[in-house]
Structure 1
Amino acid sequence: MINEQPRKWQRIVVTGAGGQLGAELAHLPKAEGIEIIALSRSELDVTDSEQCRAVLAQHHPDAIIHCGAYTAVDKAESEPDEAFRVNGAGTRNLAVAAQEAGIKLCYISTDYVFDGKSAVPYNEYDNTNPQTVYGKSKLAGEYAVQTMHNRFFIVRTSWVFGKYGNNFIKTMLKMGTERERLKVVSDQLGSPTYTYDLALFLVELVQTENYGIYHASNTGVCSWHEFAQAIFEESGIKIQVDPCTTDEFPRPAPRPAYSVMDHSAIRSNNLQQLRPWREALQHYLKDSE
């Protein structure tokens, strides 16, 4: 009988490969010792518990980065059952299957689990109080991971942008070619997060045993208005950007006024902080040329 040598590489399954973050993970440069298996919704539907078991048995990963989610924030207000089916029950299915197979699980969550009423950055252990169906459904996923799995990472992030899919930067650049003046909300504060930087952090994180809840965003704070100004400055586009209030642009789902998150878990576990958001913006724009 031949003794099977232990694998020296890390095999990571990524769900939601069609989304912004999942696609970024799928397209990361090949790293020595890392194999990423990126699965789209058609290849792994987390709402099907038996499919979760079958796919994990097929690939035998060391870790899962669960990016697959229902992310239509406004639409979720009129489709709560679907949001909870994917973000709550779907995450539970994956957590149960991963626990049974002894696979680490990293669940991607959101700043929307907080109410946005703080005046100081949210710590990983601050009380959650989601104000939207989307936020509540993502928190349901957090609860499922914490109760169904014993080797988990929960990573909350915010204001995500990257080269795959639509994002705020692409919207601003398009409007910058069509208008001479526009209004952007100035009373919402947060930290933009570059999917490339977040993806590198996640791959590093799942190789550790430092389980728990993390807040991960690019460092620094800005309003959407300040973010828009920086986008146009870095792109060399001349346009008048006027500040406005959230009330001037009502949406079905309320947006958090304050989404800034403290990165205490990253610091306490001696992990690498994500770079300042403006540096990340510069990299994104250069990479998109």
Structure 2
Amino acid sequence: MRVLVAGANGQLGRALQATAPEGVTVIAPPEANFDITDPVAITRAIADARPDMLVNAAAYTAVDRAEADSDTAQRINATAVHHLTTAAHTAGIGFTHVSTDFVFDGTAHSPYPTTAAPSPVSVYGRTKADGEAAAQAAHPQALIVRTAWVYAAAGNNFVHTMLRLMRERDEIRVVADQIGTPTHADGLARALWALLAADATGIHHWTDAGVTSWYDFAVAIHEEALALGLLTRAVPIVPIRTADYPTPARRPPYGVLDKTATWAITGPARHWRAELRDCLATIKQATP
């Protein structure tokens, strides 16, 4: 199997390359050689790579910046998905697209099923929902995988931000009334490979197991990092309300996804805290 990855330099793109199963060849061109907003460049990349599957791991994920930069967010999260999906369908190859819990408004009180209607409350969420619709319209056999709170050992993410702030500040304040599930990029990548091996299509949900708040996630990062020696001192972590930390974009207060159908294919995910521990251990190994 030959798989062409868009967004190869991102967290998930790197994880897909690192976890590729035996027998899978990953073609991961840099962004400069694979402009997903250019239909001609996409067609050329497919012709050069001759893949069986195109995986879109690229996205505009700057949630707050998207509120003032909606055109760019729309171009990357929706229009580019249309170009990618159309090119994949024309070439007769599969297409996999990664989406987000932000397509929902967060007013639910139980995990969102894959059949729930999107109801985004931010530009980022709206553009990602538009991308899903574009993929479904252009490629009837597209695989769409929604995930949430993705982080990795490298890149800009919540884990690295917390580690930096815990080293720099004497106190950390973190929102405690937004609920979801952290997702280690490596686990998500392995799940995608399992779904592809099963020829899965349609909408699926995947995150690590368990439920938490951003505050409790920060507390876990603090505890695990102290145990590993990534932090040399304890720092108080104070829970605050979303109202106490206003941002340009609204966040879904509840973003837990129902993974039941996906886990029936891939097997159940590990708990988010176990995945966090593995990620921090990798960071520790890379620390001079």
TM-score range, shorter chain: over 0.9
**2:255 corresponds to which of 243, 256, 259:** 259
Q: Residue 158 in 1 paired to residue 180 in 2?
A: no
Q: Secondary structure at the match of 1:74?
A: helix
Given the alignment, which residue of 35, 53, 59 partners 2:43? 53
The alpha carbon displacement at 1:23 in A equals 2.0
Query: By how many angstroms is 1:177 displaced?
Result: 1.4
Give the 3 Å change call, closer, same or farther, for CA 29–217 of structure 1 in structure 2. closer
- The TM-score, its normalising length taken from structure 1, stands at 0.93
Summarize the alignment of residues 1-289 of structure 1 with structure 2, pairs less than 5 Å apart. 10-26=1-17, 28-29=18-19, 31-236=21-226, 237-268=233-264, 270-289=265-284
Measured in 1, the distance between the counterparts of 2:67 and 2:201 equals: 32
Q: Distance in 1 between matches of 2:77 and 2:241?
A: 30
The match for 1:3 is none
Give the superposition deviation at 1:132: 0.7
SS of the residue corresponding to residue 46 of structure 1 reads: coil
Give the Cα separation in 2 of the matches to 1:37 and 1:190.
Answer: 32
The Cα of 1:222 is off from its aligned counterpart by: 0.4
State the Cα distance separating 1:30 from its structure 2 match: 5.5
What letter corresponds to residue 133 of structure 1 in structure 2? V
Confirm or deny: 8 A CA contact 1:213 1:265 kept in the other structure: no
What's the CA shift for 1:31? Answer: 3.2
Deviates more, 1:173-182 or 1:84-93: 173-182
> How far apart, CA to CA, are the structure 2 residues paired with 1:77 and 1:184?
22
* Larger helix fraction of residues: 2
Give 1:117's aligned amino acid.
T
Unaligned runs of at least 5 residues, structure 2: 227-232
Instruction: Say if 1:24 and 1:164, in contact at 8 Å, map to a contact too.
Output: no
Secondary structure of 2:75 counterpart: helix
Which amino acid counterpart does residue 21 of structure 2 have in structure 1?
A
How much does 1:209 deviate? 1.9
Query: What is the Cα deviation at residue 97 of structure 1?
Result: 0.5
Q: Which amino acid aligns with 2:5?
A: V
The question of whether the paired residues in 1 share the 8 Å contact of 2:8 and 2:28 is answered with: yes
Q: What root-mean-square deviation, in Å, do the aligned CA atoms of Structure 1 and Structure 2 show? A: 1.2
* Secondary structure in 1 matching 2:262: helix
CA distance in 2, matches of 1:112, 1:52: 27
Q: 1:42 is paired with a residue of what secondary structure?
A: helix
| Cα distance in 2, alignment partners of residues 193 and 31 from structure 1 | 20
Q: Contact (CA 8 Å) 1:124, 1:264: kept in 2 or not?
A: no
Q: How many residues in Structure 1 have an aligned counterpart in Structure 2?
A: 278
Instruction: Provide, for residues 24-62 of structure 1, a one-character-per-residue CA deviation record: whole Å limited to 9, x for no partner.
Output: 223x15632011111232121111111111110111111
Residues 286 and 255 from structure 1, CA distance in 2 versus in 1: closer, same or farther, beyond 3 angstroms? Answer: same
Which stretches in structure 1 are left out of the alignment for 5+ residues?
1-9
Aligned 8 A contact 1:104 1:206 in 2: no
TM-score calculated relative to the size of structure 2: 0.93
Which AA in structure 1 matches 2:241? Answer: T
- CA distance in 2 between counterparts of 1:140 and 1:40 reads 25
What is the distance in 1 between the residues matched to 2:196 and 2:280?
28
Provide, for residues 221-267 of structure 1, a one-character-per-residue CA deviation record: whole Å limited to 9, x for no partner.
00011001111111125121111001111111111100111102213
Work out the percentage of aligned pairs sharing the same amino acid.
Answer: 40
Deviation at 1:116, TM superposition (A): 0.8
- The offset of 1:176, in angstroms, is 1.4
